[in-house]
Amino acid sequence: MPESAELSTTDQPDIGLGSAPGDTVEVEGVDAIRLQLRSWPEVEAYLRRCRGVIVPLGSTEQHGPTGAIGTDALTAEAVALEVGRRTGVLVTPAQAFGMAEHHLGFAGTVSLQPSTLMAVLHDVVLSLARHGFERVYVINGHGGNIATAKAAFAQAYATATARSLPVASRLRCKLANWFMAPPVMQKARQLYGEREGHHATPSEIALTLHLEPSLIAKQRPLPEPAPPGPIHGPDDFRRRHPDGRMGSDPYLARADHGQTLLELAAAALAADLQTFLAADD
């Protein structure tokens, strides 16, 4: 245990943050950076030293016949907590429901309409901005959230300005899709080639196997998947992709791959977050 851990004895907890804007410091465990476990005075103290916050964004949707419904939320939260641990930046609770309208043909999927998700993200950003958070870093686990999240950011900037929030001119939101980080895509290509596919991918399933070992028992060989195609409504999606997969072979996934992918994603996003926090413009 590093000596610094013994120094955290004041009633204003040291949750591992630097003294200058953009300074980030690795912390001992994830508990220190979970917003859910902080008190409001602790958050006030944090804001005197850091104006950044991480918001994990997932989805609750089918991931083929052997993948967990919670895949996108589990992975986004795990990457977010590891990025938070490496940087000392606070992590909010995960937003586990995303825009998954086209997966509603499969049992267990729970979707927010784009307008609902936009309103949720808008309100999350405005709540944080009101307290003085100026850099909102959304770690996303689902491609279907991307367009809506970006629209929500534009709406949040407009509202922050309209409400004359003190942080309005400095408010920045950034979307980081962990599965699109270049080192992650490179490793997925190397491990799975074309079998990575586009939905219920072995890379995301591997990460869930690392996080939740009970899911390993669900894995089994699957028939040739339907190829990727255009995405329209839920009935059309199920017609094109009868078992929910888009060109992927999740049976290639291994828990140790997931551990490697988590490391790669966290390293890439932690560096990106540090750049985001340090930028003046």
In the bound complex, which residue of the shown chain has the CB atom lying closest to Ni ion? 72
Nearer to Ni ion, 159 or 219 (CB): 219
- Given the rule CB under 5 A, which of 23-31, 49-57, 70-78, 154-162 is the region that contacts Ni ion? 70-78
- Given the rule CB under 5 A, which of 5-13, 66-74, 81-89, 119-127 is the region that contacts Ni ion? 66-74
Query: Residues 18, 19, 22, 23: is their CA dihedral positive or negative?
Result: negative
For residue 186, what are its two tokens? 């490179």
CA 144 to chain centre: 13
CB of 72 to Ni ion, least distance (A): 4
Binding-site string for Ni ion from residue 195 to residue 214, where x marks contact by CB under 5 A and - marks none: ---------x----------
Phi, then psi, of 177 in degrees rounded to 5: -90, 105
Nearer to Ni ion, 204 or 249 (CB): 204
Are 202 and 196 in contact by the 8 Å Cβ rule? The answer is: yes
Size of interface with Ni ion, in residues (CB under 5 A): 3
CB of 206 to Ni ion, least distance (A): 12
- Of the candidates 213, 231, 181, 190, the one whose C-alpha atom is nearest the C-alpha of residue 61 is 231
d(CA 150, CA 136): 12
Q: What is the DSSP letter of 218?
A: G
CB of 188 to Ni ion, least distance (A): 13
CB of 29 to Ni ion, least distance (A): 27
DSSP 154-217: HHHHHHHHHTT-TTGGG-EEEEEEGGGSHHHHHHHHHHHGGGG-SBS-HHHHHHHHHH-GGGGG
72 binds Ni ion (CB under 5 A): yes
Are 208 and 214 in contact by the 8 Å Cβ rule? The answer is: no
CB of 93 to Ni ion, least distance (A): 19
Nearer to Ni ion, 52 or 67 (CB): 67
| Window 42 to 61, contacts with Ni ion (CB under 5 A) | none
Nearer to Ni ion, 63 or 135 (CB): 63
Nearer to Ni ion, 46 or 237 (CB): 237
d(CA 232, CA 104): 11
d(CA 19, CA 24): 9
CB of 219 to Ni ion, least distance (A): 16
For residue 275, what are its two tokens? 């750049």
CB of 201 to Ni ion, least distance (A): 7
Nearer to Ni ion, 72 or 82 (CB): 72
Nearer to Ni ion, 71 or 260 (CB): 71
- Given the rule CB under 5 A, which of 11-19, 71-79, 99-107, 127-135 is the region that contacts Ni ion? 71-79
User: What count of Cα atoms within 13 Å lies in the side-chain half-sphere of residue 43?
Assistant: 18
The residues binding Ni ion (CB under 5 A) are 71-72, 204
